[in-house]
A and B are shown apart, each in its own frame.
Chain A
Amino acid sequence: MSSPSLQQQNLPGGESASAVKWVSLTLLAIAAWFALYSQLVPFSRWLVGLLPIEADSHLYEAMAFFAYDTPKVIMLLSLIVFLMGIVRSFFSPERTRAILAGKREGVGNVLAACLGIVTPFCSCSAVPLFIGFVSAGVPLGVTFSFLIAAPMVNEVALGLLFGLIGWKIALTYLFFGLGVAIVAGWVIGRLKLEGWLEEWVLKIRGGAADVPDEKLTVIDRIREGLEAVRDIVGRVWIWIILGIAAGAAIHGYVPADLMAKIMGRDEWWTVPAAVVIGIPMYSNAAGIIPVVEALIGKGAALGTVLAFMMSVIALSLPEMIILRKVLTVRLIAVFAGVVGTGILAVGFLFNTLF
């Protein structure tokens, strides 16, 4: 997809030349990214060394964490969002809907959860997407699998987990995040709750519009990647800084055994407490993962932390309020209950296994 030669055949000479230019500039920028990224540790040491703080104090620990993590997270996020922006230019909700329409439950749930990772989705589009899916014949449970996976298992969450905590945790989150979306959607489908949609939604017989595909060139796709960076990083940077500040405070000041006691694996109630606390907290992966990193560093149990993170991201009050336009309160309660139970199961499983 990044090969300009594919595009050259049917483009006038000027455009293919500029496609080569765009691709080379992109590769150069990515090389510069890696060079800069490898120098972050010495850079942050140097920066914190300038401050008049004793090297072994709590404040020093906190500042060092902050000075290293902030550029690291923002750089990682920019690269991942850029690459994912290019991948997403190959998908659209309309195309995903065409794939899912008429699919059986089960297979449909698995497909929907996986497509939720790569399909461009923003919460402002959640209602049109929900109606668009359901009225075009995508089963309710399959639609829910998509709606649960899309915000929970995304490139921001996976990329930051990979960069900050490690690939094992990132893979674990991927599998169990998809698992929760698949099973919760399947359960909601089995419960046959179509009658619990708002009445006006049931009356809509829009069907699926035949939206013509727009031809995208290599340059268009790179532009979409850049646009995604501008949009997403521009929106979440404040959350990242707040998250890292909270993480830095935990890192520098919270005694290690306190976290192990509160969020440790010995107490059964820590997992449900983490889920309940996570619901009203509205953040996204970018803000919560630096906190998660610090919590794990202080001995919090993995299952409890994963449950907390999934709850913050997947069960958010603002999204439920948006969905209230199409779902009755009863259906939202079932949705929250089923997803919450799935997250609880993941939390308990991990605290038992690890």
Chain B
Amino acid sequence: MKNIKVLGPGCKRCDALVKMVEEEAAAANIPVTVEKVTDYAEIAQYGIASTPGLVVDGNVVHAGGLPKPENVRQWLAA
């Protein structure tokens, strides 16, 4: 089970990223838990400077804007 966190105060792109992760995980048949982190203090703990941020099993893999779907696929499969 992969633990995914989407960091962002709740902007449009953050929601889009949550959806993208869920879709890619479902398509690749990878079991995941997706958690939205909206608290500013908690987001800051991850040390990013732009949102949305993406954390896979505790590692920050992306920050700022929407990543490419194929990159999300790779991060989920890794």
Contact = CB atoms under 8 A, between A and B. Distances in A.
Given A92-B63, A211-B63, A214-B62, A206 B68 contact: no
A180 interface: no
Nearest to B40: A127
A66 interface: no
Interface string B1-38: 00000011101000000000000000000000000000
Contacts of B67: 214
Interface in A116-146: 120-122, 124-125, 127-129, 131-133, 135-136
Which of under 10, 10 to 19, 20 to 34, or 35 or more describes the interface residues of B? 20 to 34
Given A128-B40, A325-B40, A214 B71 contact: yes
Nearest to B71: A214
Nearest to A130: B49
Contacts of A92: 50, 63-64
B40 A133 contact: no
A200 interface: yes
B43 to A, nearest CB: 6
In this complex, the member of A128, A133, A135, A204 whose beta carbon has the largest number of chain B beta carbons within 10 angstroms is: A128
Contacts of A129: 49-50
Interface string B57-69: 0001111110110
A211 B62 contact: yes
Which of under 10, 10 to 19, 20 to 34, or 35 or more describes the interface residues of A? 20 to 34
A220 interface: yes
In this complex, the member of B7, B48, B67 whose beta carbon has the largest number of chain A beta carbons within 10 angstroms is: B48
Given A94-B64, A214-B62, A128 B41 contact: no
B41 to A, nearest CB: 6
B64 A135 contact: no
In this complex, the member of A124, A210, A211 whose beta carbon has the largest number of chain B beta carbons within 10 angstroms is: A211
Contacts of B8: 128
A246 interface: no
Interface string A72-103: 00000000000000000000111011000000
Contact of B49 (A97, A122, A200): A97
A124 B65 contact: no
A50 interface: no
B49 A136 contact: yes
A135 B50 contact: no
Contacts of A209: 46-48, 60, 63
15 contacts: A92-B50, A94-B49, A97-B49, A121-B50, A124-B9, A124-B11, A125-B51, A125-B64, A127-B9, A128-B50, A131-B40, A131-B44, A206-B44, A209-B47, A212-B61
Interface of B: 7-9, 11, 40-41, 43-51, 60-65, 67-68, 71
Interface of A: 92-94, 96-97, 120-122, 124-125, 127-129, 131-133, 135-136, 200, 204, 206-212, 214, 220, 325-326
